[in-house]
Amino acid sequence: MAHAAVRRLVGPIRTALAAGLLLSASLVVIGAVATTAAASTSQPIVLGDICSCTGPEASSIAQTSPTIQAWASWENAHGGIDGHKVEVIVKDDGYNPGTALSDATQLVSSDHAVAIFDNSDVDTSWESYIQQQKIPGIGGLDTAAGYTNPDFFPPGGTYQYETTVGVQTTKQAGIKKEADLYCVEVAICAQSSSQLKTALSKVGLQLVYSAGIGFAAPNYTAQCLAAKQSGATGMTVADASAIVAKVASDCAAQGYEPTQFSADGSVSSSWLTTPGMEGNIDSEPDVPWFVHDSATKTFYAALDKYAPSVPTSPNFGEIALSTWAAGIEVQEAIQAGNVTATPTAAEVTNGLYHLPAGTTLGGLAPPIHFVAGKIASNPCDYIMGIKNQKFVQLDGDMVGIARSRQRVTPAETGAVIRADACGAGEHRLHPSPGQRVVSQPPFQYDGGRAATCANDVHPVAIDGVESAGRLIRRPKEVKSDRVVGAAAGQGSHEYYHD
C-alpha cells in the first residue's frame, strides 16, 4: 500500500521481491464449497473484505481481493474450516471514506460478517464503527489501525516500528543522506515523512529532501533532480508499486540512481527490470512472498488454481502474501475459538486471543501474540532486496526492535536466554571484563534462521554496576532515565539474570 516505501528497513542486506496485480474488486465473492455431512448442519463463516482496489494505490492493493478469494476457495475445497463453509464478501471503497463506512455498515448489519479484512487506505472512516460493533479487524499491517486499535489483529510485523527499522537498515547500508517522496493522497504518507526525519537525526543521518507526489503526475523528473542536487544517496518512495517504479525510472533517466528503500505492499516483480532499482533494500512484515518452501506451498497452489492472474501480474508482491497470512490467521483463530454451529464475531475474537503465543501461522509470519484490550505490537520484519536483477534474502533475514518493558526470560546458567526482541529464539550474552554483558548477534531463530536485533546493547547503571545488554545480577526494573542508547526509544526495561 501507499506507505510501503518507508515501512521497515533494518538488518544486513539479502532478501527478495515479486509483484502484485491490478484488478478491480468484485462485490461479492463466495469461495467454492466442499459439502460434507457435518458442514450441512453448520452455518457459513461470513467474512468481509474492504479494499481500496480502485484509486491511487490500486497497483498494490488490487491483488488483495483475488488472493483472499483464493484462500476461501481453497479452504472450502478442503472441507471448510471445522466443517464451516467460508464466504468472503468483497467491497471496493474506491478510496472514498464515505463509501468505506457504508461498506462496513452493510457488512455488519446486513451481511452479518464475523470479521473484516482491512485492505483499505481509508480505514480511519470505519475502524471505530466495527470496534463499537465488536467485529474484529484482520490486517492493518501498514495502517495506523493495526497498531492503535486493540480490536485489529495484524498477521505480522506491525506498522509502529516501520520508521525505526527503516532507519537502521539505511544506516547499515552506509547511507548518510536520504530523500523521501511520499504520496499526497494518503494522510499516513506525509506523517511518515516527518517521523523519518526525526528518526534519521537520532542516529546521525540526514533527510535532505522531502516532497509530496501525486499518482497522476506525468513524470517525477523535477523531484529526481531536486533530490540529486540535495546530495541524497538513498531514497524512499512512500507510494504504490507502480509509482515507486516510475520514480526510480525517471531518476535513472537523469543519471541519478540512489539506493531505493521500500517495504511491504509497494514491492512488486516489475521492479526487477526497472532502471534504478538494482540494489533496492526492503523489509517485510511476513516471510518474503518470493520464498518457495513448505510455508508458502499452499499459498502458491491456491493462487495457481483459483487466481492465476495474481502471481503472473507485474504487481505481484508482498501484499498478496500478507493477505494470505490474514486468511490463515482467521482459520487458526476459528479453530482455536471452537466456534459453534452458528459462528459469531465474539467466537472469532476469542480464538484470536487464544492463538498459541508465538505462533508463526505455519511459518508465514514472525511470532505473533494478541492480548485482550492491548494494541498489537510486533517489532519483527524480514529483510530482502534486489541483487543482479533477482530478489534475494539479505543477511539476517528477520530482525527485531526491543520493546519498552520487554522481559527477557527465562534466564539460564551460562548466560544463555531463550527470548529475543521478537519473543523467540536463542540469544547468547557473554560476560566480559568489568562486569559488562554484551549481546552477540546473530542469534538462532526457528531452527537456524539468522536474525539480528536492531537494539543490541543497552548500557545500564544499576547499583554502581554497569551492564550492557539485557542482563543484570537480579530482577530489577530499570527506569527510563537510567537507560542509555536504547535504539528503540526510552522506557522501562526489565532485565533478568540467572
Q: Determine the Cα–Cα distance for residues 147 and 450; give it in Å rounded to an integer.
A: 26
Are residues 32 and 145 located together in one domain of the fold? yes
**Residue 164 sits in the same domain as residue 116:** no
The confidence score (pLDDT) of residue 250 equals 98
**131 inside domain:** yes
pLDDT, tens digit, 9 for 90 and up, residues 160-174:
787 777 888 888 889
pLDDT at 479: 30
Q: Are residues 143 and 79 located together in one domain of the fold? A: yes
Q: Which residues of the chain have pLDDT under 50?
A: 1-39, 397, 401-498
Same domain, 18 and 153: yes
Place of cell 506451498: 297
Residue with cell 484488478: 23
Sheet holding 137-139, edge to edge: 29-30, 86-92, 45-51, 115-119, 137-139, 152-153
Kindly state whether residues 308 and 325 are assigned to the same domain: yes
- Domain-embedded: residue 6: no
Please state, for a pLDDT cut of 90, what percent of the chain lies above it. Answer: 53
Q: Is the pTM of this model over 0.85?
A: no
Residues 175 and 303 in one domain: no
**pLDDT for the residue 181:** 96
Q: Is the peptide bond before 410 cis (omega within 30 degrees of 0)?
A: yes
Burial 289-304 (b: 16+ CB within 10 A, else e): bbbeeebbebbeebbe
Q: How far apart are CA 490 and CA 377, in angstroms?
A: 16
| Separation of alpha carbons 105 and 193, rounded Å | 33
293: cell is: 518452501
Task: State the Cα–Cα distance between residues 414 and 270, nearest whole angstrom.
Answer: 49
Residue 4 lies in a domain: no
* 204 domain-assigned: yes
Closest listed residue to residue 170, CA positions, set 141, 143, 207, 139:
207
Tell me the H-state helices in 178-317: 187-202, 221-230, 241-253, 297-306
**Is there a domain that residue 371 lies in?**
yes
d(CA 322, CA 141): 8
- The total number of structural domains that make up the chain: 3
Is residue 396 one of the residues assigned to a domain?
Answer: no
Q: Which residues contact 230 (CB under 8 A, 6 or more apart)?
A: 177, 179, 208, 209
User: Closest by alpha carbon to 188, among 209, 165, 212, 223?
Assistant: 212
Asked whether residue 70 falls in the same domain as residue 101, the answer is yes
Nearest alpha-carbon partner for 269 in 259, 258, 280 = 280
Task: Give me the count of residues in the chain.
Answer: 498
CATH of the domain at 89: 3.40.50.2300
- Residue 122's domain comprises 14-157+289-376
User: Interior CA angle at 335 toward 333 and 338, to 5°?
Assistant: 105
Say how many Å lie between the first and final Cα of the chain, rounded.
Answer: 45
Is the same domain home to 262 and 319?
no
Question: Is 113 within 8 Å of 48 (Cβ atoms)?
Answer: yes
**Under 8 Å CB-to-CB from 461, ≥6 apart: which residues?**
482, 484
Tell whether 141 and 217 lie within a shared domain. no
Q: Closest Cα to residue 145, out of 115, 167, 125, 166? A: 125
CA dihedral 375, 140, 290, 90 (to 10 degrees): 140
Question: Are residue 171 and residue 188 in the same domain, yes or no?
Answer: yes
pLDDT value of position 169: 85
Domain boundary among 259, 284, 309: 284
